[in-house]
Amino acid sequence: MSEFAANKALELRGMQVLKGLLDRDAQERMVEELRHVIRAAPLFSPVTQSGKIMSVRMTSAGRFGWISDRNGYRYSETHPDGMPWPEMPPLVSRVWDTVSGCARTPECCLINFYGESARMGMHQDIDEVDFSAPVVSISLGDDALFRVGNEARGGRTESIWLTSGDVVVMGGASRRLFHGVDRVKHGSSTLLPRAGRINVTLRVVT
């Protein structure tokens, strides 16, 4: 039997939303793994090409991390401070093995931290090479209003609240959808001592 069991499974524009896949104990163990990553590879504030500082702070584990600076955004084998990324945390890998349906190993574990009033504008994740591999997202901490759109910018969108322990699998055509986070309900979860939200996304990059 798997160590993970969802409370319910929803489908949203081809994405699989597994509500409560991680129970409280698994969420706490994952936060502990992520603390080790963040200690070795501190969160940083990416700067967009236009020079704007993103409100979400980030770091990564695995072979590649996602970085953005005045030279553009890209996957990099090193943190902005120069060191290689920490190893992929084991519990995070087991979530991928349980839900991805993908034989490849994830090469990037991107960690997004949302403090008070952080948000993420609508975008596509298209810096990867192999679109047959899904993106798997794990939500921890405060509730977030997640919005999903279409394969082109604009058009009708749908929103759902993602809560701590939810896992979303973006496979098939849903892999190319525009998406973003409109707001986070600061202090809605007790998982993190000083509130906030962590989102982990697992990606195959090459």
- Give the footprint of ligand MD3 on this chain (CB under 6 A): 110, 112, 120, 125, 135, 137, 144, 168, 170, 174-175, 177, 179, 181, 199, 201
Contact code string over 75-114 relative to Fe ion, x by CB under 5 A: ----------------------------------------
Nearer to ligand MD3, 91 or 184 (CB): 184
For 88-102, the DSSP string reads: PPHHHHHHHHHH---
| 125 in contact with Fe ion (CB under 5 A) | yes
Nearer to ligand MD3, 95 or 135 (CB): 135
Nearer to Fe ion, 125 or 182 (CB): 125
Q: Enter the tokens of residue 113.
A: 């931290």
Nearer to ligand MD3, 1 or 159 (CB): 159
Q: Are 188 and 161 in contact (CB under 8 A)?
A: no
- What is the closest distance, in whole angstroms, from the C-beta atom of residue 178 to ligand MD3 in the complex? 8
Please state, as a whole number, how many other Cβ atoms lie within 10 Å of the Cβ of residue 82: 6
Which residue type occupies 107?
E
Q: Are 159 and 13 in contact (CB under 8 A)?
A: no
Integer Cα distance of 186 and 141 in angstroms: 9
Please state, as a whole number, how many other Cβ atoms lie within 10 Å of the Cβ of residue 154: 9
The stretch near Fe ion (CB under 5 A) out of 3-11, 61-69, 122-130, 149-157 is 122-130
> Which residues, 6 or more positions from 63, have their beta carbon under 8 angstroms from its beta carbon?
77, 85, 107, 108, 205
- What is the closest distance, in whole angstroms, from the C-beta atom of residue 89 to ligand MD3 in the complex? 17
Q: Are 129 and 175 in contact (CB under 8 A)?
A: no
Choose among Fe ion, ligand MD3, none what residue 147 binds, the Cβ cut-off being 5 to 8 Å by kind: none
Q: Are 197 and 114 in contact (CB under 8 A)?
A: yes
- What is the closest distance, in whole angstroms, from the C-beta atom of residue 153 to ligand MD3 in the complex? 13
The residue at minimum Cβ distance from ligand MD3 is: 199
Binding site for Fe ion (CB under 5 A): 125
